[in-house]
Structure 1
């Protein structure tokens, strides 16, 4: 991995000391530069759990990815920079259904000082900075409120609060996992017709005060939690929107 090229891709300049301040800056820079997207699923391009392959896609070809790619590559970067990190299997909360199977989401735990911090680039509209794993911990990242508690006394749970209502995001055990353990769910999400990623294309990128998202054929722009634009696009618009809004060429 060419570290300098990766850091250029996420527009990061500054200290690389493996501490919490650097991690906060790396996470925010990455989120603002690299979109969450599943476009390969809709071009039938296999998504491989191979760091070299993911690096070429994201750093060299200016693409984004979904959790296995974004967090898989970020884990490698943090490991090279000297962080004590784990790949973590998370189960995503689905309304009216409960929690998805293990390995449905790949997230990262970084051990810094005496604390463990969750850092995540691959969950769509999510935290801008790491959150410490401590019961009843709460954080406001400048946009939303998040909290940490326990689920069934064996899982950590991350919750998101909006207008006083708290909704679970996902649960996980603080257990280190191997990259290949996520392969079955990664394949499910790119091939199974029941997967939301197969049903609809998605590309989303936060801005400092909002988000731009293309879901199916609907382009939506938000600012300060309010929709400022929503419109349908056609096949002719699609490549132009990809470049204009996300700086991506397929």
Structure 2
């Protein structure tokens, strides 16, 4: 179900092919540095096909990025092919949401990987705050990564993931414990890619995380955050958005995308 040679070439990995924590750590670091987070097809009303052959054609062969259902379903098949015990999960996204926001549906796909009986969170599809290392899910102390530290807190039967931003712990998402079948992602993917309330329907969002920095584009605002806490931010003209998508994010820009850049510049002010 997955061409490992093509995937490893895509992310620049040439290491061991074994179900070890060291391999999981390396893949979790490399994937979001090479396969960017983006949902441009949603803005173009193309929909998002999460069938394995469609995901592989887009994210591997075509050099595109994708959002969580594409990114983490691909990563799940890679890990399974390497011999990992891996399950899909669903989470309620809380990232940058007001504290009094109504309860949201579970719309984020993440993975639970078991290594020597211990559960680890693996997630390569959470955009601007993607964890760049696997996180032990039965440990409640802060866990360092190459960028922010993360921690889990119990909320009833669920796990709340938080990221440390300066002195503040920011909620990221709340994970349900039940493993999901592949068919369980079809409805939330349809909702996320088509419903008027989905922010992917209205916002140009692109993110890439490397060991050196997190790069994020929201509308026409490019933000670069480094592990030492320094940050750069600037607004882009439509032509600069296209150049940035090519040169910074490595995306193969299509002519059909260009009207989106005009709208993004207008939305960003």
* 1:230 equivalent in structure 2: 234
- Name the counterpart of 2:251: 248
- Aligned-partner Cα distance in 1 for 2:221–2:140: 37
Aligned residue for 2:131? 127
Q: How many residues end up aligned between the 2 structures? A: 247
Which position in structure 1 is the counterpart of 2:144?
140
Query: Higher strand proportion, which one?
Result: 1
Name the counterpart of 1:158.
161
Q: Which residue of 2 aligns with 1:69?
A: 70
Q: 2:80·2:86 contact (CA, 8 Å) conserved in 1?
A: yes
How much does 1:92 deviate? 1.4
Q: Partner of 2:101 in structure 1?
A: 97
Instruction: Flag the structure with higher helix content.
Output: 2
Which aligned segments of 4 or more residues in structure 1 are displaced greater than 6 angstroms? none
- 1:195 is matched with 198
1:89-126 residue CA offsets vs partner (Å, 9 max, x unmatched): 11112322154213x10000001002000000111122
Equivalent in the alignment of 2:181: 178
The answer to which of 165-174 and 197-206 deviates more is: 165-174
Please tell me the root mean square deviation across aligned C-alpha atoms, in Å. 1.5
Give yes or no for the alignment of 1:221 onto 2:217.
no
For the residues of structure 2 that align with 1:115 and 1:39, how far apart are their CA atoms? 36
Contact 1:86 1:175 in 2 (8 A): no
TM-score (norm 1): 0.93
TM-score by length of 2: 0.87
Pick closer, same or farther for the CA change 1:111–1:52 going to 2, 3 Å: same
Shift of 1:176: 1.4
Deviation larger for 130-139 or 56-65: 130-139
The answer as to whether partners of 2:47 and 2:194 remain within 8 angstroms in 1 is no
* C-alpha distance in 2 between matches for 1:220 and 1:13: 31
Equivalent-residue separation in structure 1 for 2:164 and 2:126 (angstroms): 16
CA distance in 1, matches of 2:241, 2:212: 24
**Contact 1:135–1:149 (Cα < 8 Å) also in 2:** no
Q: Report if the CA contact (8 A) 2:36-2:65 is conserved.
A: yes
Tell me how far apart the structure 2 counterparts of residues 137 and 98 of structure 1 sit (CA, whole Å).
28
List runs of 5+ in structure 2 lacking aligned partners: 255-269
Conserved in 2, the CA contact under 8 Å of 1:158 and 1:168?
yes
Q: Is the 8 A contact 1:85 1:111 kept in 2?
A: yes
| Aligned-residue offset at 1:238 | 3.4
Whether the 8 Å CA contact 2:221–2:233 is kept in 1: the answer is: no
Equivalent in the alignment of 1:20: 21
**Cα deviation, residue 240, structure 1:** 2.3
Q: CA deviation at 1:137?
A: 3.2
The separation in 1 between residues aligned to 2:141 and 2:187, in whole angstroms, is 33
Instruction: Verify the 8 A CA contact 1:18 1:82 in the aligned structure 2.
Output: yes
- SS of residue matched to 1:241: helix
Runs of 5+ unmatched residues, structure 1: none
